[in-house]
Chain A
Amino acid sequence: MASVPMPIGGASPAHAHDHEDGELSHIEWRVRALESLLIEKGYVDPAALDAIVETYETRIGPRNGARVVARSWADPDFRRWLNEDATGAIQSLGYSGRQGEHMTAVENTAEVHNLIVCTLCSCYPWPVLGLPPVWYKSAPYRSRAVIDPRAVLTEFGVRLPASTKIRVWDSTAEVRYLVVPMRPGGTDGWSEERLAALVTRDSMIGAGLAKDPASLAGAPAA
């Protein structure tokens, strides 16, 4: 666990001097002061704060989205529903609410690769992916995803054929996007649970691909 948070602008030379122990404890002090003041005034309940943290640490995360993708791979009717009414289809699996009120699912194919970004802030589909990773909220990603996504993908280890078109979705409204990565070959007849294990967080943003089935322990079942 890194103790020094990455600034939005990335690891600038100035940053190395700015965030020494003194400043970090200054931030900690500010947060503690704010929280205790708000509790003392009766605006927030400390038990509710703990419940919110616990929710995003243990219950709402990218495994939810992986189950959505696995169902879409395994069930053609669900796949159709997801493409036509992503909010409803996702809700049928129990994932809905804050920062996922209006969902759109976009499928990767051999012809088109989709990539999600929020250039203006950090819009991200919380009910299916949880809280966004630091890089998704950072200037390097937000600045480059819309102008040079191929180079961005290369940094994530994704090299697409030149013939594959790239579609970047900038989340400028309250619509949230989920990428459905391509189903890897050699997974015919796999259970949804096994399929879900192939689906990474990055693949559901478009910054990665689904895992190679051979990478799973005990994968070559047949």
Chain B
Amino acid sequence: MNGAQDLGGMMGFGPITSEPEGEVFHADWEKRVLAVTLALGSLGEWNIDMARHARESLHPADYLESSYYEVWLKGLEKLVAAHALATPEELATGRLRHPPKPTSPRLAAAGVAAMLAKGAPYDRPPQASARFEAGEQVRTLNVNPTGHTRLPRYARGKRGRIERVRGVFVFPDANAHGLGPSPQWLYLVSFPASELWGREADPSLTVSIDAWESYLEGAG
């Protein structure tokens, strides 16, 4: 979706504020938001693409005026309500009014290290051969999906080059909407800056994205 999360190439946000290496959190509530997001995510009620879509579906003004952990909090509240783990009323009051929904067992403290170390690999065994090979010229589709996508606006309808065939990966555009993993071939695609930004672009700049096969068409 063309939401506020799709920031590449926007202007007017001002300078970057750097930060010392040791600063992990900036308030105690940020720690709790991170931890609750990870622990609740481990129940498997939703996947990472659904979580990203919940965040990017915030009103654009709300998204930009919120800190990153506020965005996570707001996304999490939406997921909790949408997946019936709690009602909006319970979320608003913090008071339990309904029994819990049956879920897989909660994450135990003893299981945290193993859960983080295991991760959730997103590659899948190939079922068909790849359509493109390294070195091929391709064009990204000019599309404006209303749902979740990982093809940024700045890289749509652009001619690029396949640099690597990554393998077959879960397709977020489907997975975010409960349509299953629908795995597709994934490619590393690079673009000269002039293709993305026009004649005034930095001639020494190349930008690359990782793009699923259905984002691409041949441009031989």
Q: Are B67 and A6 in contact (CB under 8 A)?
A: yes
Interface size class for chain A? 35 or more
Is A101 positioned at the interface, with any CB of B under 8 Å from its CB? yes
Q: Are A140 and B15 in contact (CB under 8 A)?
A: yes
Residue from A14, A35, A147 whose CB has the most chain B CB atoms within 10 Å? A147
Interface size class for chain B? 35 or more
| Residues of chain A lying within 8 A (CB to CB) of residue B113 | 51, 55
**Contact partner, B16, options A9, A51, A141, Cβ 8 Å:** A141
Distance between Cα atoms of A155 and B170 in the complex (Å): 37
| Residues of chain A lying within 8 A (CB to CB) of residue B116 | 52, 55, 60, 97-98
| Residues of chain A lying within 8 A (CB to CB) of residue B43 | 43
| Residues of chain A lying within 8 A (CB to CB) of residue B16 | 135, 138, 140-141, 144, 152, 155-156
Q: Are A168 and B205 in contact (CB under 8 A)?
A: yes
Is B125 positioned at the interface, with any CB of A under 8 Å from its CB? no
**Stretch in A26-34, A68-76, A184-192, A214-222 touching the partner:** A26-34
User: Which parts of A16-56 form the interface with B (CB within 8 Å)?
Assistant: 18, 27-38, 40-45, 47-53, 55-56
Is B63 positioned at the interface, with any CB of A under 8 Å from its CB? yes
Q: Are A146 and B32 in contact (CB under 8 A)?
A: no
Distance between Cα atoms of A41 and B186 in the complex (Å): 40
Distance between Cα atoms of A3 and B26 in the complex (Å): 6
Q: A53-B34, A120-B152 are in contact. List 7 more A-B contacts (CB 8 A).
A: A5-B27, A45-B109, A48-B106, A50-B35, A102-B121, A121-B5, A134-B19
